[in-house]
Chain A
Amino acid sequence: MRRNPGLWYAMPLILMMLLFFAAPLVIVGWYSLMPPRSFALTADLGLQNYRSAFTEGYGRPLMWSIIGAALTTLVTALLAWPTAKILHHHAGRWASLVTALIALPIFISESVRLFGLSVFLMPGGGILAGTLNAVFDVQIGTILNTRLAALVGMIYIHFPFMLFPMLLGVAMIPADRIEAARDLGANRWAVLREVELPLAAPGLLVGGLLTFVLCLGANAEAAILGGRAVTVITAAIEQRFNYAQDWPMGAALTVLVILVTAALVFPALRRIDLGRIIRR
């Protein structure tokens, strides 16, 4: 045991990951290859579920989820970048308070916050519409039950997940580098593109990846705010599992989501050393 204690200490987690992370994914993979509507594990395997996944209209929910995740990643990045720069530049008591205030909502359940967003946006007697009506006598419509509302919900929920890795990234930019670039005649845009973004890249990559992956599976936003305007892939999978009782089809859709995730996560994680960011 003394010879290689690291491996021994890693064992409990390796076991947990094998039993409750890897094994379920293997089982899902197996189911996805079985004939439609079978329940017991069989060895009669084929790719028919994947074929029907694309012919029976499941491409759409998958596409919505990918588009939603990409848009959310983009918008949260655009919102988080100036925020991270400000918080880093004015580091001090105010910045710590603001940072804590931004972090706090993460720990309030997303069902509570999304519910809040929906009563805020509700037409007629909603918080926003009701207030405008009572105070300014202005009637407004609502974006509730549209794709836009679902997107707003995703941006709202995932903003902190983009901001905090980005803060770490921004902290990796030495201030003198920016000054040096300015002294050498670089304009704002050149400094951003040539100095700030490359140096902050690890943080941006982690934030972007985390946001994208979390959004890829997100369905509470669409369920609470999107109404019936949009069916995301998770909702489609759940529907196959529960109502249609077609486990193999649901499993095939699950595998497709996992493949999209893996295609992004593996190359990205090869490029960043999370241990080094943590050790700072």
Chain B
Amino acid sequence: MKAQGNTVWLKAVWIGTILTALYLPIVSVVLASLANTRYMRFPHKTWTLDAYRAAAADYTTVTLHVISLQIAVSVVVLSVLLGTIGAMAYARYDWRGRSLFQKILILPIFFPQPVLGLALLLSMSALGIAPSWKTAVVAHAVWIVPIVTLVISIRMFGYDVAQEEAAFDLGASRWQVAREVTLPALWPGLFSGALFAFLLSWSNLPLSVYTSGADTPLPLWLFSRTATNYSPLVPAIAVIGTFVSGLIVLALLGIRRALFWPSAK
């Protein structure tokens, strides 16, 4: 009995240590943003929100968020659309090339992202395509669409096709079946897929580095400003950016709740 208590205690310490290690750097970013000196001298002599005021007044903050948002929203739309269609082939229909399709689809996930970015950059340069936020969308999509397809497929595997047949037997049209039977059943999968796509695109660095050209998304700006030209503005914008993505996720969750709570039981 005593030994049991000891192991539980040990386990709690282990988990506590892991969580502390995971969150210390994140807390450090917040702490760093509260300084007003160019070089960090922690603990700060003066604790201030100056950096946030500066970030709010700086137009760069807006530009960075707009570019990140443009990319993320495009990726969400693309990946939910393609992912839904792809999940039909992945999970719903049994066809001759399916197992090969399933294997090929996960290759971009098991591929070093910066290398994919570099390969796309070289191809674009060879073809004379100037990188911009649009090419970054393509790069993100190559990696995120397969993930979203898998997320939607999880839901699709649990979906009973007989419901559709029943609706057809009752005289529903193709469109009616899609709108009233298929989509509501798959909706949670689509929603999780959209959430994943948004967050993965918003926080992506390794693909954006090589494919976004002169349009700098948030993570890329933070990356380059960390290396050179550091000031407390950098952690402040990092905190703001993370906050904004958190707010967007909360808003999405709120919309889902408002729209679907009554019927979801």
Q: Determine whether B170 belongs to the interface, using a CB cutoff of 8 Å to chain A.
A: no
In the complex, are the beta carbons of A16 and B145 less than 8 A apart?
yes
Residue in B200, B210, B226, B245 whose beta carbon sits within 8 Å of that of A118 in the complex = B226
- Tell which of A10, A217, A250 has the most Cβ of chain B within 10 Å: A10
Min CB distance A138 to B, Å, is: 14
In the complex, the chain A residue whose C-beta lies closest to that of B11 is A86
- Per-residue interface assignment for chain A, residues 195 to 238, with 1 indicating a CB less than 8 Å from any chain B CB and 0 otherwise: 00000000000000110011011111001100000000010011
Min CB distance B26 to A, Å, is: 6
Residue in B18, B32, B113 whose beta carbon sits within 8 Å of that of A79 in the complex = B18
User: How distant is the Cα of A210 from the Cα of B122 in the complex, in angstroms?
Assistant: 25
In the complex, are the beta carbons of B21 and A156 less than 8 A apart?
yes
User: How distant is the Cα of A83 from the Cα of B39 in the complex, in angstroms?
Assistant: 37
A-B contact count (CB 8 A): 274
In the complex, are the beta carbons of B29 and A116 less than 8 A apart?
yes
Residue in A21, A209, A218, A241 whose beta carbon sits within 8 Å of that of B108 in the complex = A21
Min CB distance A270 to B, Å, is: 8
Measured as residues with beta carbon below 8 angstroms from the partner, the interface class of chain A is 35 or more
Q: Determine whether A77 belongs to the interface, using a CB cutoff of 8 Å to chain B.
A: no
In the complex, are the beta carbons of B235 and A12 less than 8 A apart?
no
- Report A-chain residues with C-beta under 8 Å of the C-beta of B39: 125
- Please choose the segment from A45-53, A104-112, A183-191 that sits at the chain B interface, where 4 or more of its residues have CB less than 8 A away: A104-112
In the complex, are the beta carbons of B222 and A112 less than 8 A apart?
yes
Question: A6-B89, A41-B126 are known contacts. Are A219 and B40 too (CB-CB below 8 A)?
Answer: no
Q: Determine whether A115 belongs to the interface, using a CB cutoff of 8 Å to chain B.
A: yes
- Please choose the segment from B52-60, B96-104, B179-187, B252-260 that sits at the chain A interface, where 4 or more of its residues have CB less than 8 A away: B96-104
User: How distant is the Cα of A117 from the Cα of B32 in the complex, in angstroms?
Assistant: 11
Residues facing B in A116-131 (CB within 8 A) are 116-120, 122, 124-127, 129-131
- Report A-chain residues with C-beta under 8 Å of the C-beta of B227: 223-224
- Report A-chain residues with C-beta under 8 Å of the C-beta of B157: 278-279
In the complex, are the beta carbons of A213 and B110 less than 8 A apart?
yes
Q: Determine whether B73 belongs to the interface, using a CB cutoff of 8 Å to chain A.
A: no
Residue in B90, B122, B146 whose beta carbon sits within 8 Å of that of A251 in the complex = B122
User: How distant is the Cα of A118 from the Cα of B153 in the complex, in angstroms?
Assistant: 39
- Per-residue interface assignment for chain B, residues 51 to 94, with 1 indicating a CB less than 8 Å from any chain A CB and 0 otherwise: 00000000000000000000000000000001001101111111
- Report B-chain residues with C-beta under 8 Å of the C-beta of A129: 42
Q: Determine whether A102 belongs to the interface, using a CB cutoff of 8 Å to chain B.
A: yes
Question: A13-B149, A234-B118 are known contacts. Are A257 and B112 too (CB-CB below 8 A)?
Answer: yes
In the complex, are the beta carbons of B28 and A116 less than 8 A apart?
yes
In the complex, are the beta carbons of A6 and B110 less than 8 A apart?
no
Min CB distance A81 to B, Å, is: 11
User: How distant is the Cα of A126 from the Cα of B35 in the complex, in angstroms?
Assistant: 12
Min CB distance B85 to A, Å, is: 5
Question: A10-B101, A115-B238, A220-B223 are known contacts. Are A24 and B108 too (CB-CB below 8 A)?
Answer: no
Nearest 8 Cβ contacts at the A-B interface: A217-B112, A6-B95, A116-B25, A130-B42, A6-B93, A10-B89, A125-B41, A9-B89
Q: List 5 A-B contacts (CB under 8 A).
A: A86-B15, A120-B25, A213-B112, A234-B118, A265-B107
Q: In the complex, given contacts A110-B205, A126-B42, what are 15 additional A-B residue pairs having Cβ atoms less than 8 angstroms apart?
A: A6-B98, A9-B88, A9-B89, A10-B95, A21-B142, A24-B120, A112-B203, A117-B28, A156-B25, A213-B110, A216-B115, A217-B112, A250-B122, A261-B111, A274-B102
* B residues apposed to A, CB below 8 Å: 11, 14-15, 18-19, 21-29, 31-32, 39-43, 82, 85-86, 88-99, 101-116, 118-123, 125-126, 138-139, 141-142, 145-146, 149-150, 153-154, 157, 199-200, 202-206, 210, 218-220, 222-223, 226-227, 234-235, 238, 241-242, 245
